[in-house]
Amino acid sequence: MQLKSCSIILSLLAIAALPGCNTKSKESSSAGSENTKANTEYKPAFVGQTRIKSVITTTPYKVEKLAEKLGRPWAIIPLPDGRLMLTEKSGFITIHSADGLLLKKVTGLPSVDDRSQGGLLDVALDPAFAQNRTIYWSFSEKVDSGNLTAVAKGQLSADETTIQNPVVIFEAKPALKSENHFGSRLVFDKDGYLFVTAGERFILEGRKQAQLLNSGLGKVYKITKDGKPAPGNPFLNQAGAKPEIYSYGHRNPQSLDINPVTGDLWEAEFGPRGGDELNLIKPGKNYGWPVITYGIEYDGNKIGDSIQQKEGMEQPVYYWDPVISPSGMVFYTSDSIPEWKNNLFIACLSSLHINRLVIENNKVVGEESLLLDKKERFRDVCQSNGKLYAVTDGGILFRISKK
């Protein structure tokens, strides 16, 4: 897809003029959830693909603010003992009690490029963490030719204050000179392989590479603990293709989790102006960006041929217009609030809420907006001991639990 130079200039000028936007990407837009007008008149591919019926939680629950002034948290995960591990974009990790009390600051990670959307991003525990104390993290790595999404691993020291033997195991190349769309989430499957998401870096040079199998941009990867291609990967033996690729045609995927019942991999990603997507990820599949999309450019121009369906490209299970800006997400597996069992919870940025999706037979059948009254940009959400924990761009830690 090629755009005329004048359109590119107009697009960049329009993006820069967006209120509250300083990164040329809607991730940093301060638009609130009161905006319900769709950006386009595009029609869904099937009934229920967007604007599904609303549902309301009937079980009484409470929301507690556990901590604030946490800086710039990006990810939150539970430790085996119920404590919480948070990443901070500037390049360190913190460990908190289940009640939000700061217990440890963990340093010793490689330096990060924390401009705009970059920095220290996601974190995941090795499946054998109790024995080997190994953690994995993704970050924006600065290199001579720009920066890129990288994954590293190391061991948490006995006193939980440093990372020992840090080593970069994977890089989503090529590097570009961009401060946006790094992805990136990390999820281990039941066999101990690591799924990694990487964005297409927002600029047009990266956007077109989301469709290229010889590029690492706009992809979901499946790798070993050492960063090698996982056995059985779909492009393992295809000449010219990166063997770590699991799926492609993604824009900026910041949401990733595995359905606890089916074992399927689910992903959500930022669309442009309109067209945020929820996808069921299958090996080798092409998810369409930027050829098909339910969104438009930030300046209102159409993207490419302005098509939403094409043979050989996957449709999203669900999409949002107006957008929600989906960041971290988690399937709820507890029996504490039975009506939430196996529901998907997504931390949303521009729409200022946590999105609850009821999914049946791989279709979204109900949707609810939680914590709208907090007016916070929710960055990540996790589950621990039947409770949901969420962090915001404003540096707040919330806990949601049954009353």
Q: Which residues are catalytic?
A: 181
3-class SS letters over the chain: CCCCHHHHHHHHHHHHCCCCCCCCCHHHCCCCCCCCCCCCCCCCCCCCCCCCCECCCCCCEEEEEEECCCCCEEEEEECCCCCEEEEECCCEEEEECCCCCEEEEEECCCCCCCCCCCCEEEEEECCCHHHHCEEEEEEEEEECCEEEEEEEEEEECCCCCEEEEEEEEEEEEEEECCCCCCCCCEEECCCCCEEEEECCCCCHHHHHHHHCCCCCCCEEEEECCCCCECCCCCCCCCCCCCCCEEEECCCEEEEEEECCCCCCEEEEEECCECCEEEEEECCCCECCCCCECCCECCCCCCCCCCECCCCCCCCCCEEECCCCCEEEEEECCCCCCHHHCCCEEEEECCCCCEEEEEEECCEEEEEEEECHHHCCCEEEEEEECCEEEEEECCCCEEEEEEC
Query: Pick from 244, 182, 189: which is nearest to 218 by CA?
Result: 182
**Cα(361)–Cα(29) distance, rounded to whole angstroms?**
33
| Buried-exposed string 60-92: b where 16+ CB fall within 10 A, e elsewhere | ebeeeebbeebebbbbbbbbeeebbbbbbbebb
Q: Which of 114, 281, 253 is nearest to 183 (CA)?
A: 253
195 within 8 A of 282, measured Cβ to Cβ? no
